[in-house]
Chains A and B, each alone.
Chain A
Amino acid sequence: GDSVTQMEGPVTLSEEAFLTINCTYTATGYPSLFWYVQYPGEGLQLLLKATKADDKGSNKGFEATYRKETTSFHLEKGSVQVSDSAVYFCARYTGNQFYFGTGTSLTVIP
């Protein structure tokens, strides 16, 4: 069935390191793809999204490109900060429902 698979964590990086969190999806049709972030004690917040193939979503230095040929939507950031420590969820949107991955916990140390 349709699903979202994302890289397992936890991930620990030093400040200013490069971040990649992998996400792949299976789906019929062409879903919209999202990254949500959950900071400690808070709800899920939309980080970025892409609605069609080759679209690039970007926000707060994070980027992800909708790759239809590899069915991927990997999240990247060139230089992480301590304030980026959070859980990141990849999701696809089909039929008015979100289907989430399991989440990847990121800790950035000074």
Chain B
Amino acid sequence: EPEVTQTPSHQVTQMGQEVILRCVPISNHLYFYWYRQILGQKVEFLVSFYNNEISEKSEIFDDQFSVERPDGSNFTLKIRSTKLEDSAMYFCASSQGTGRAREQYFGPGTRLTVT
């Protein structure tokens, strides 16, 4: 069964450094998403991406964040200058379409630790 993959599984970085989290969505999916979960808190929506542009983003997704689909398979989340509060589990997801009950398939997550 096709699945969403994410690399690395765990990333440790120092405050102020740039990080890039990578995702390979399911190959025939058109919509891509990033979510994060700070330890002990809710899974929060960050951004959705379609047709090579951001379609929606949350208040969390400020100028420090950017997303890109650099080629036909990868979908990346970049944090320009990490802060301690960026430490979280980051989930990538993809879907074939949108609309009511359109299922999003999630990756296993990347745990980001900022020290």
Q: Is B3 an interface residue (CB 8 A)?
A: yes
The answer to whether A98 and B42 touch across the interface, beta carbons within 8 angstroms, is no
The answer to whether A101 and B103 touch across the interface, beta carbons within 8 angstroms, is no
Are A43 and B106 also in contact (CB < 8 A) when A89-B43, A99-B45, A103-B43 are? yes
The answer to whether A100 and B43 touch across the interface, beta carbons within 8 angstroms, is yes
The answer to whether A42 and B40 touch across the interface, beta carbons within 8 angstroms, is no
What DSSP secondary structure best describes chain A's contact surface? Answer: strand
Q: Quick check: which of A18-26, A44-52, A68-76 contacts chain B, the rest being far away?
A: A44-52
Q: Is B51 an interface residue (CB 8 A)?
A: no
Q: List the A side residues contacting B93 at CB < 8 Å.
A: 44
The answer to whether A97 and B101 touch across the interface, beta carbons within 8 angstroms, is no
Closest to A33 in B: B101
Across the interface, B100 reaches (CB within 8 A) one of A32, A41, A43, A45, namely A32
Chain B 17-38 residues near chain A, CB threshold 8 A:
35, 37
Q: Is B56 an interface residue (CB 8 A)?
A: yes
The answer to whether B42 and A102 touch across the interface, beta carbons within 8 angstroms, is yes
Closest to A4 in B: B42
The answer to whether A43 and B109 touch across the interface, beta carbons within 8 angstroms, is yes
Interface string of A87-102 (1 = CB under 8 A from B): 0010101011111111
The answer to whether A98 and B103 touch across the interface, beta carbons within 8 angstroms, is no
Q: Is A62 an interface residue (CB 8 A)?
A: no
